[in-house]
Homo-oligomer: A and B are copies of this chain.
Amino acid sequence: MSPERLAIHTFTNKPWSIRECIENYARRGVGGISIWRETVAGQDLKAVGRQLDDSGLVPVSLVRGGFFTGKDSPTREAAIATNREAIVEAEALKLPMIVLVCGATLGQTPEENLDQIREGIAAVLPQAESAGIRLAIEPLHPMYAGDRSAVASMRDANDLAESLNHPLVGVALDVFHVWWETGLEAQIERCAAADRLFAFHVCEFKPDFDHVLLDRGLPGEGVNASARIARMVQAAGFTGLTEVEIFSRKYWAENQHDFLEKIITSCAPL
């Protein structure tokens, strides 16, 4: 696809400030942007919002809310408060969606984590409704199921969204996290049929990764699942921008303009 069908996550170009991300994406003809809370921490959100308006970039997602689990009630309440702040930020930046990395606490069972996640999302839903902000549950690869997300497959994400059954609660599918899943096509169809396929992220899993978080690949690298899954998502009727979310110490060490070109080239066949 052409650059105007892409939205890039600011964390993909971690060395760039929010101003540089907006400028460079717009200049290169990228269609949209998803903004990491880390990238705008301490910034004047109104000024960022004005720059974003002027840029013509489509605002896609605020990344990220979630982390709803915890051993005790004060911890979980604090997480809910943080998610409420994220909704305020998303409103300020006119981002219509928040991606949720739902959380997992070491020593809790998947079921305990999922119950706490369900309660956390339900607790912030009234404010999301007032703001008109969509909440996208992102299933994470099971290598993160111990401490980042008990939602570890599209099947899990669909089950969770279905149990909450709210038009503002859907799913953000990231190739990096679900390429391994058997029956994936059926889960994507199930998600889309329920109007819950809110977002599609590309990023490749490299079986020989040298860091559990920060060695991710461009479309075509590693297990090379982006094109296959893009076809499934398109066949299921997804028409949103394709988001590029890649964490990589290797690519962060390069000139970020060169990396942006590599992103655009690698996404062209999708």
Q: Which residues on A are within 8 Å of B, measured CB to CB?
A: 106-107, 109-111, 114, 141-148, 150, 152-153, 155-156, 159, 179-182, 184, 205-209, 212, 222-224, 228
Q: Is the CB of A143 within 8 A of B146?
A: no
Question: What is the distance, in angstroms, from A157's C-beta to the closest C-beta of chain B?
Answer: 11
Of all chain B residues, which has the CB nearest A184?
B110
Return chain B residues, CB-CB under 8 Å to A141: 142-143
Q: Is the CB of A145 within 8 A of B180?
A: yes
Q: Is the CB of A228 within 8 A of B109?
A: yes
Question: What is the distance, in angstroms, from A22's C-beta to the closest C-beta of chain B?
Answer: 34
Q: Is the CB of A207 within 8 A of B107?
A: no
Evaluate whether A181 and B107 lie within 8 angstroms (CB atoms) in the complex, with A142-B141, A147-B207 already known: no
Of all chain B residues, which has the CB nearest A145?
B180
27 contacting pairs across A/B (C-beta < 8 A)? A106-B207, A106-B223, A106-B224, A107-B223, A107-B224, A110-B180, A110-B181, A110-B184, A114-B182, A141-B143, A143-B143, A143-B207, A144-B207, A145-B179, A145-B180, A145-B223, A146-B179, A146-B180, A146-B205, A150-B180, A150-B182, A152-B180, A152-B181, A152-B182, A156-B182, A207-B212, A209-B212
The 5 lowest CB-CB distance pairs between A and B, nearest first, are: A145-B180, A146-B207, A142-B180, A146-B223, A143-B143
Return chain B residues, CB-CB under 8 Å to A155: 182
Of all chain B residues, which has the CB nearest A156?
B182
Q: CB < 8 Å: which of B111, B145, B182, B206 contacts A111?
A: B182
Q: Is the CB of B222 within 8 A of A146?
A: yes
Return chain B residues, CB-CB under 8 Å to A184: 110
CA distance A114 to B184 in the complex (A): 14
